[in-house]
Structure 1
């Protein structure tokens, strides 16, 4: 084997200009009063095809399968065909962008669906320049009947067509349901999953199941006196088990809590099986089915009353009764459960640092809204070509998530600079929340879903609401960054307009004193392991429910916006967190350096000034706390002029991209269990993980040793050291009683600020004494 090359740093080193936030100045117009004022107005030519009548009849006009085709310029769009109906109804809307249409002739054809080719049965011709402009989107335009004309001689033919044509903007109520020319290209196929939609997350509940005990246990082996019994709980594709009962008798007791995440409407039952472990096998004793919707809903931390449930036998054969009826094979054994739907919790479907909603499940515990968050998704520029075919193309769409509301823009076909100009609104209940906007490439344009094709990630943007000034409109271009195994790539830029409007400033300020999570999280807290497990359950449940919508929100989209795999370890995040801690302590380091300058008399005038200030504080201690408060006030006012004016964005430098090795990126994108087949890479990861864990182990050991030394001052582990400390405490008590505290404080400060010539380079006596105290490290193996 040849010599392996040394790992190189990631070549993608970010620059300030390439990955920075850029202010933009879009031509935002007031499309309609009070709404859609964060996006640029876009004019569309709307054609609503309602229905037709009397298309054929009699021997001269045979039956056919009619459908409508709209032609304007190079664009063609068609409705679905309806089989053998002379009076079909479509109620379909087409929207053509006025900027892309350069023709004044609008033709609407009634077509006949054929096996080889489609025939034209009639048409309606309209002048697009004379179409009325709909100024008020709230007042719908009434459709009217048009006679069909022959394509050859212009004579009227059999049948009439009801339609409406107008010019409107994206504020029109028909915008979301319309077929868009910019979302289907020139060919004009009516693709369903390219439309913009609004989705609502299902109501999520925590299902708490407390398995208490079983009475009158019936085992298959009547002579078995010490059964090893446990309970297996299955809900959907999840399975949880209790431990084997410690009381190995015919009345086993567990008293264990099992938790699941369920969503309304409740579709799957809760299946409990009582099993006995016999050797290497597990024998089913009985089972019980519980309908989730019948469980009691709990709003406070008071537990619900336990109930006894009957167990059915494991046999699937019905038992015939005396009257010939089929009875359920019930056992005399009963299981006691305490099952409830805990609505006082907030079901965590996101990581806590990126939460967009902190409300409990039940609406009765919700508080009043604080304001409105408006988001305008304007456009994107410089998107990378995601489909690596012969020509290359990108079919981009955006998905935004805040609270229980998900929104999806329409898909712009084959464009690296798509123009969406869509606006959405959310109600804000807590300002300390984050809205997430992701950009994806649509890989399901033809409606095919083989389970392997996934929508590609282009990038995402996070904006914390609390960092936005109330009433101000932010218009910025956010860089779309994608971290891949080959390094950091800039996929383009996304231009957004966002505004947070506050209804009551008093209520907004009051929320800062309230707990972040609902009361149940503090009175009956969940463990960290439960939080991670339940969050993964909630993510999978949301992906399943939203994937059943039309058009669906794909599983990979839901997991990307909710940061499904954020709990996995990687070297880059570890370095980034260490860098964050270093930045926070940088100000403390400056204070320590400043104190060192004063103590070492590097600036004698400053040291003398500190002596004077300390004497004043000692002689007049009542000015100490007011002076500290005034210092904070002056610092806050001084920093106001340098306050950040831009919303935060993803910073590659803070993420330590340039310091990441190629191996680190490969490990970060590896799955669990690993898919790496290179034994050398696996060995490198394992050895590095052991080295990193060794550093953490040493740090924890040092911290434990310092705490144990403090404990050893009074526990007489070292009788001489404890005797010295107790004697010193006695003498110090008398000295502090005889000498005023002010004098002792000023003498201590003067001693610390003594000139360097009077200081020794050796450690001080208290430091030497503390380091000599015993620890429990001697007891470790």
Structure 2
């Protein structure tokens, strides 16, 4: 197990050169928006300003042809000192259009001129020189967005010596800018000069949107005229429903040609709908043999989209049966027949689509946009840099290397920074913005090593988990950061260096540090306060709740759908990245996690033990002054029992005010001690990293081992939930969520005042009548105190 001091795993305050708001252009998901009058203006103030020299190569015309071949295969070469970038080449074209942009970091410029060459590609030998254009860097203009893009101009080509003009012209634009320039994301960067071909696309920064997920609820009611293949027996029918890779079955109905089930089958579907709902009615002929007696395929777009709890209409569908005709014995055909199935099917957008597969919710909104509220804040994250990354793979004869990029996920929006090639201290300085609809959510950031830049690289053994050479290469995980928004003070910039921790079979390992700048800006304090007293999820989630088994299945299927859809983008956000960001293995059994949850509960009980010891000290007069004060307070409360409740609330108010001095100064991060990662036994880690199903050779041991892990995983989740509830009580007065604590202590003060002036008997009567009220006056929706409590933060956000 890795032996590292606890200091290496702590957050560190940083002091980056940020804070000056410099204007930007089209941020494409980045930047910062500030209301000015009735308009939003964009700034870019959470990252360090980086200057770049941009060269836009648009097109050329009237290029000369080769005297031998009679054609021209032109391409352009942009050269600045030791850096050289080339455009794609065109075959047999004297008027090519490239429309490519090259970016050179100002810090790495070692030349006073930039040269643009136009060449003719030859199959054998040296490419022909057609002409060039030279620019003096001291004469290059500076462009500051939101100025319009610099207009490209035609330049006559010069000979190699630059003395005379030759045939042909090229359209160019050259300017100095920053990473806020709209050309930055799509530009070819000099620090990726060693990457060629399609691999260049894997180095660029992109913004992704995860697909809109719906619940497809299929209520299978009944069927009519189910005719088995053997007409002499009564069918034992059940219904199998399939949507893509998701397959669910009803129970076997009673023996009848008109069986009834009335079961709900729930699937996850993503827009645009590509799969169909395939329903088959099958007859259980033998315990191991089923025969299809009817089938139907239905496109998902025909079903009603349910936004509230209003009932959905039922529909009868005719089934199709496969049989063999007399005249066409060798051909399979579909025959319409009398069997019908009665269904109630809808796409539910009123539910909160589970946050793919993770317990760290980043979006509380329902799927249907009609149910969205106005945003309550803006989250801005500046991804500055990483320091001290470990070598993740070997190349160039055994030299360690890391090609790092960062992924951030909040709500439906995913962002990916550009890949910094071959650097253990990459600097991204990219800023991104999200709208916040609920502050009780978590943003997740992960750092990965890009293993898709060339085919000859091999992952470094033990370098962070998850790499393979060749075509099966996977981007290796370097580490992850989670930040709960409700723990951030509003309009404050947090600049910290977060340790990147990865748990390996050998133990917890620090892979480097990630430097971030984070700010949560409040748009409406009244709306945020309003949210604390309202349900976390839409109304339908409480009226038609899912079972535990359904939730687990839906999480898994949603993660698969998101991974597949994001993997289709260019560059793709690969499955191993999506799974790591969504904590796909968080529900698997782990002895380490079970220990961690157990000691979380023990930590809560330690507070009760501390209070009992204090009372014991009071009883034994170890501090006479305290004992006298407690006796006086006891006599007063006994003599005036109506003062008990107001005194308790008043004391809690003062305790909350007192604890304000000790409130956390930075967002919580991965706690290796809380996660029990530092003290885990090697055998326990070996069990945690074992495959599921287990790779043990003995069949009986495998079955028992898997069963134990499944049951223990449930117990582990329950224990963690109990610990979470207790930690929420602790957070009431700890200022971990500044807004929640402020609301609670103000409530305590108001309650203390009201209880002082209100007769205790009247309060007791009102409380009794409220507790014993008739069910007609009760609501299925959770109460405001319950909603407030469920929004309080817990230490689950800080667990590794």
1:610 is aligned to 2:617:
no
How far apart, CA to CA, are the structure 2 residues paired with 1:508 and 1:53? 59
- CA 1:243–1:693: 2 relative to 1, 3 Å: closer
- CA 1:689–1:334: 2 relative to 1, 3 Å: closer
Aligned to 1:489: 509
TM-score by length of 1: 0.83
8 Å CA contact retained: 1:78, 1:190:
no
Aligned to 1:379: 385
- CA 1:635–1:341: 2 relative to 1, 3 Å: same
Report the alpha carbon displacement of residue 77 of structure 1 after superposing the two structures with TM.
Answer: 1.1
Report the alpha carbon displacement of residue 309 of structure 1 after superposing the two structures with TM.
Answer: 0.9
1:64 aligned to 47, 59, 72, which one? Answer: 72
- CA 1:651–1:98: 2 relative to 1, 3 Å: same
1:290 aligned to 298, 308, 319, which one? Answer: 298
Structure 1 SS opposite 2:553: helix
What aligned pairs does 1:109-124 form with structure 2 within 5 A after superposition?
109-117=117-125, 118-124=127-133
1:360 is aligned to 2:359:
no
How far apart, CA to CA, are the structure 2 residues paired with 1:168 and 1:335? 65
8 Å CA contact retained: 2:9, 2:671:
yes
Moved more, 359-368 or 668-677: 668-677
Report the alpha carbon displacement of residue 86 of structure 1 after superposing the two structures with TM.
Answer: 1.8
How far apart, CA to CA, are the structure 2 residues paired with 1:193 and 1:372? 29
Aligned to 2:85: 77
1:339 is aligned to 2:348:
no
Report the alpha carbon displacement of residue 319 of structure 1 after superposing the two structures with TM.
Answer: 10
Report the alpha carbon displacement of residue 267 of structure 1 after superposing the two structures with TM.
Answer: 0.8
Structure 2 SS opposite 1:430: coil
- CA 1:418–1:624: 2 relative to 1, 3 Å: same
1:474-506 CA distance string (max 9 Å, x none): 010000011100111110000000000101111
What aligned pairs does 1:632-781 form with structure 2 within 5 A after superposition?
632-677=652-697
What aligned pairs does 1:614-625 form with structure 2 within 5 A after superposition?
614-625=634-645
What aligned pairs does 1:196-275 form with structure 2 within 5 A after superposition?
196-224=205-233, 226-245=234-253, 247-275=254-282
What aligned pairs does 1:290-329 form with structure 2 within 5 A after superposition?
290-315=298-323, 329=335
1:89 is aligned to 2:79:
no
How far apart, CA to CA, are the structure 2 residues paired with 1:318 and 1:42? 78
How far apart, CA to CA, are the structure 2 residues paired with 1:691 and 1:559? 23
TM-score by length of 2: 0.81
1:24 is aligned to 2:14:
yes
1:489-525 CA distance string (max 9 Å, x none): 1100000000001011111111111111111111111
What aligned pairs does 1:198-597 form with structure 2 within 5 A after superposition?
198-224=207-233, 226-245=234-253, 247-279=254-286, 280-315=288-323, 329-350=335-356, 353-389=359-395, 390-446=398-454, 452-597=472-617
Aligned to 1:761: none
How far apart, CA to CA, are the structure 1 residues paired with 2:340 and 2:589? 44
How far apart, CA to CA, are the structure 2 residues paired with 1:674 and 1:519? 41
1:293-348 CA distance string (max 9 Å, x none): 1111001123311111111122498999xxxxx99521211111111100101111
Gaps in structure 2 of 5+ consecutive residues: 25-41, 457-468, 720-759, 762-800
Name which one, 1 or 2, has greater alpha-carbon Rg.
1
Structure 1 SS opposite 2:556: helix
The number of equivalent residue pairs is 682
How far apart, CA to CA, are the structure 2 residues paired with 1:672 and 1:358? 31
1:613-647 CA distance string (max 9 Å, x none): 21111212232222112111111111111111111
What aligned pairs does 1:172-187 form with structure 2 within 5 A after superposition?
172-185=181-194
1:165 is aligned to 2:174:
yes
Report the alpha carbon displacement of residue 243 of structure 1 after superposing the two structures with TM.
Answer: 1.4
Report the alpha carbon displacement of residue 676 of structure 1 after superposing the two structures with TM.
Answer: 4.2
- CA 1:689–1:213: 2 relative to 1, 3 Å: closer
8 Å CA contact retained: 1:382, 1:416:
yes
Moved more, 331-340 or 75-84: 75-84
How far apart, CA to CA, are the structure 2 residues paired with 1:691 and 1:278? 33
Structure 1 SS opposite 2:531: helix
1:130 is aligned to 2:150:
no
Aligned to 2:165: 156
Report the alpha carbon displacement of residue 597 of structure 1 after superposing the two structures with TM.
Answer: 2.6
RMSD over aligned CA atoms reads 2.9
How far apart, CA to CA, are the structure 1 residues paired with 2:712 and 2:561? 35
8 Å CA contact retained: 2:384, 2:516:
yes
Aligned to 2:115: 107
Aligned to 2:754: none
8 Å CA contact retained: 1:400, 1:436:
yes
Structure 1 SS opposite 2:230: coil
8 Å CA contact retained: 2:440, 2:486:
yes
Aligned to 1:628: 648
How far apart, CA to CA, are the structure 2 residues paired with 1:181 and 1:157? 29
- CA 1:319–1:484: 2 relative to 1, 3 Å: farther
